[in-house]
Amino acid sequence: MLFSSPRFFVFVTVLLGLLSLPVSVRAKKSILTAASCLFYAAWDYRYLGLLALVSVIDYVAAARIHTAAAPRSRRMWLALSVASNLGILAYFKYTNFFLATLAGVIGREHPPMLEILLPAGISFYTFKSMSYTIDVFRSEIEPCASYLDYAMFITFFPELIAGPIVRASVFLPQMDRNPGPNRSRVAIGLSLFLLGLAKKRLLADRFAQGADPIFAHPEWFSGGTLAAGALCYAMQIYCDFSGYSDMAIGTAKLIGYDLPENFSAPYISRDITEFWRRWHITLSSWLRDYLYVPLGGNRRGALRTYVNLAATMLLGGLWHGAGWNFVVWGALHGGALAMHRFLRQRGSTWQLPAPVSWALTFVFVCLCWIPFRAATFSTSWTFVTRMLTWSDGYRWIPENTLLTIPVALGLLLARRLENASVPTPRWLEAFDAEVVRDPVSGWSLRLGVGTVLGAFSVTMLLGLIWYFAAATTSPFIYFQF
């Protein structure tokens, strides 16, 4: 069920109505859990059992970890949890990738492929569930007192399919809340949802119209067209994923819960390290805390640090998809992170001017999106070589490339507002808008219609979506992971 579809609007409206009923908190949690299961089953009811299996294994494992006295027993239950989650993920996501790779190694032309349907959200909910048992093992959190609370955490539909990856330490403390809409949360939630919807329908889907034909057949197009296509995709994936995250966070706020921030104006980063502090924040922090740090982090010397960085990003790339192009993408970013760390530690005497370092970072990130998006490794090679050699071909520069301008302006505004010490600028107050901050979601922009400019802006935003959004919406990019 896409967030931008009429079905979803009906679903959320009915749910909010049910959560407004004068019933107990426990009853509301049951309603919410049931609604989340219905949301997941709307994709395919057959895989609801898999979600239940993961939740039961980890709920029991965490409870056993907490009560077990012997360290060996605690480690055994942790191993069971991690192995079951990774095993399920490996089977559904990587079986055919391993088979194809093995066949390539032994020289077999037609490897046996299994018909395996990738369950929606499996990459996200397995990571979420693993973080729960690991945090219990580390004694950072207490296990859930009731299975209902844990089930609600695991199935929470706004972030079930494509994140943000919410940790138990962030979500479980909110379990005491009485779910349901209230005036202030509705204002912020609807604002976030509307802004996310605009990013998705007005921007991401329009950028997709430009990028899709170019990435489908890079051999047709000129070098300039390919460069425009790469830019379109860079904008598409940002608007698509951050738009989805905004809608997820906004929906959660409508219901009464806070989800963590997932994007923080990543495309104005001045170096690759900063980029990964701003892009898909919940994934990068998960990888840092559950992979990079256990590998040793930066505590075992410089060389080991670089290896740990590269390995973490390589696996991070593989997490996105079962394909060598994703491994290449991860390796490129891992290499860049290691290189950046090396240069910083050498106390580099040459400092690039900020615009230059921004440009280098942005161009590097855009180039890395090419193997991420291309259907195959050979397609990405064709794309890059034809673009960099400025090959001749059909010149078709999508007009939607111009939408990069409003994206850039939005990023600059976000950069201005993210500073916690900056109150709402006076000019934003004229739009009846307010910067709202909370410790979990970071900063959000609450829109209002109490001033002429405010009502004008909201009317224009709704109208632009209605009149100028692409008629057909493409699925959210991260739904495929």
Partner 1 sequence: MALGSRTAGVAGSVLGLLCLEAAVRTTYSVRYAPEAGYVNVNAPGATFVWGREGHGISHWEAHGIRRGPSPRDTAGPRVLILGDSITEALQVGDEVSFVSQAEMRLRREPRPVVLNAGHSTFSVADYIFHAPRNLETFAPRWTVVVADASDFTYNAWDKTKPRFAASPDGALRVEYVDAESPTERRFGRFTPFTKAVPYAFIRFREFRAAAGKEPPLFRAGRDAAAASSATEPDYPIEEEAAMLGRAYAGRLSVLLLPKFDVSPPFVALTPIEQRIRAGLLAAGVRVVVPEAEFRALGRQKKCPYGFANLVFNEGHLNADGHAAVAEALAREIDDAVF
- Cross-strand bridge partners of residue 436: 444
- The residues, ordered by sequence, that sit 6+ positions from 305 with a Cβ below 8 Å of its Cβ are 296, 297, 298, 338, 341
Residue 459 binds to partner 1 (criterion: CB under 8 A):
yes
- Which DSSP letter does residue 4 get? T
Answer whether 142's CB lies under 8 Å from 66's CB: yes
CA dist 252 and 185 (Å) reads 9
Residue 471 binds to partner 1 (criterion: CB under 8 A):
yes
**Segment near partner 1 (CB under 8 A), from 22-30, 257-265, 377-385, 453-461?**
453-461
**Segment near partner 1 (CB under 8 A), from 42-50, 69-77, 352-360, 408-416?**
42-50
Answer for which of 116, 392, 420, 480 binds partner 1 (CB under 8 A) is 392
- Which DSSP letter does residue 300 get? S
Q: How would you classify the pairing of strands 434-438 and 442-446?
A: antiparallel
Min dist. Cβ of residue 161 to partner 1 (A): 12
Residue 468 binds to partner 1 (criterion: CB under 8 A):
yes
- Which of the residues 198 through 237 are near partner 1 (CB under 8 A)? 209, 213-214, 217, 220, 222
Pair of tokens at residue 362:
């942005």
Tell me which residues are annotated as active site.
320
Beta strands in 299-453 (DSSP E): 434-438, 442-446
* CA geometry: angle 379, 383, 384, nearest 5 deg: 120
Site size for partner 1, by CB under 8 A? 48
Give the x-and-dash track for 112-151 against partner 1 (CB under 8 A).
-----x--x-------------------------------
CA dist 371 and 377 (Å) reads 7
- Which of the residues 311 through 330 are near partner 1 (CB under 8 A)? none
**Segment near partner 1 (CB under 8 A), from 96-104, 302-310, 344-352, 450-458?**
450-458
Residue 454 binds to partner 1 (criterion: CB under 8 A):
yes
Answer for which of 395, 412, 419, 437 binds partner 1 (CB under 8 A) is 395
Min dist. Cβ of residue 141 to partner 1 (A): 34
Give the x-and-dash track for 44-63 against partner 1 (CB under 8 A).
xxx-----------------
Helix (H) or strand (E) holding 263: none
CA dist 313 and 318 (Å) reads 9
CA dist 253 and 184 (Å) reads 10
Q: Which residues bind partner 1 (CB under 8 A)?
A: 2, 5-7, 41-46, 117, 120, 209, 213-214, 217, 220, 222, 392-400, 432, 449-460, 463-464, 466-468, 471-473
